[in-house]
Structure 1
Amino acid sequence: MKLMDELIDAYLDNNFEHPYYLDLHTGQVILDLDESYTGEPGIDWDDEENEERYIDIPKIDSNEAFYVMTKFAQRTESDPEDKLFDALGGNKPFRRFKDALDRLDIWEEWNRFENKYAEEAIQSWMDRFELDYNELSEKHNNNIPFS
């Protein structure tokens, strides 16, 4: 999997109990949970060097996710009856939005839109922290097990 795809997955993982970090030495995306959950040892935060080695990957919050769904509903031509807007206006808008995507059979269109938004957000984050994607991607590719 490409580094950007892993960063997007981490960004869109809406479980705030899943802390993701980017290893600046290897370019790997690390889910820092107990080893019993991931099968990998967690980050040793007692080691001071790790504070410089790992950077927290941002996550989309619910307000921003709602904004992205609204932007998609505004732009899609596959919903002439505004079922997506109706879903966003009721109770449990996230569940109803997903149900409407399913009924309209536009999941692929939604996934492309959401991933494009996430990629732009990740690129903005990388620019803000002056991270070189090409350099990190090369490190990432050189550290993929079984490649």
Structure 2
Amino acid sequence: MISTLDFQSDFGRSWWLEPETGEVLFCTEDGVEETGESADDLEERGAVMVDALSSRDAYRDMETFISGVEEGPAKDRLWRAISGNRPVRRFKDALFDFPGMRERWFAFHDRVLRRYAVEWLVDVGVWTGRRPRRPWSSSASSALLRRLFPRSS
């Protein structure tokens, strides 16, 4: 579910969340590969189309991350990377020059995507935003929570 928020799709391709099971389905113009269902079919049975993050959100996340980087060559390089055309691509390329920073970015980005996912689930009415009393039960909310926040043993 989380990775679908970061997936900018072409027209005719979309991701759908099945609220009852927490299953995420990929739908093309030809339908869902496994079932043949169309986007209309998915919507009719209560699935919710996942809205990918906007490029504005992605840019804001990069700005927030860079603001937290210590002054120095990495911070300067990352600011320059997002200043031109194709800022996301240039930002990711710049991170290869700073392996430790790249790891920090992915950890930061994962936390941000989880927050967006929870906000989206609440916004579309799939989840109330509260943890169920019995964690990890078979309810739809718990299935979604398990996918978003896997138990660490």
* TM-score of the aligned structures, taking structure 2 as reference length: 0.72
Q: Which residue of 1 aligns with 2:50?
A: 57
Q: Which residue of 1 aligns with 2:72?
A: 80
Residue of 132, 136, 140 corresponding to 1:136: 140
Q: Which residue of 1 aligns with 2:16?
A: 21
Using CA pairs under 8 Å that are at least 6 residues apart, name the structure with larger relative contact order, 1 or 2.
1
Checking the alignment, whether the CA contact within 8 Å between 2:14 and 2:26 is kept in structure 1 is yes
* TM-score of the aligned structures, taking structure 1 as reference length: 0.74
Q: Which residue of 1 aligns with 2:37?
A: 43
- Quote the offset at 1:26 in angstroms: 2.2
Would you tell me which structure has more helix in proportion to its own residues?
1
Distance in 1 (alpha carbons) for counterparts of 2:36 and 2:57 = 29
Give me the identity figure in percent. 25
Checking the alignment, whether the CA contact within 8 Å between 1:33 and 1:42 is kept in structure 2 is no
Q: Which residue of 2 aligns with 1:116?
A: 111
**1:42-80 Cα shifts (integer Å, max 9, x gaps):** 434555x84242001120111111111111111123x62
Distance in 1 (alpha carbons) for counterparts of 2:56 and 2:85 = 15
Classify the secondary structure of the residue corresponding to 1:32.
strand
Residue of 72, 77, 102 corresponding to 2:96: 102
Checking the alignment, whether the CA contact within 8 Å between 1:11 and 1:57 is kept in structure 2 is yes
Unaligned 5+ runs, structure 1: 1-6, 142-147
Checking the alignment, whether the CA contact within 8 Å between 1:23 and 1:54 is kept in structure 2 is yes
**Which of 118-127 and 9-18 deviates more?**
9-18
Unaligned 5+ runs, structure 2: 130-135, 147-153
Moved segments of 4+, more than 4 Å: 137-141
- Quote the offset at 1:87 in angstroms: 0.8
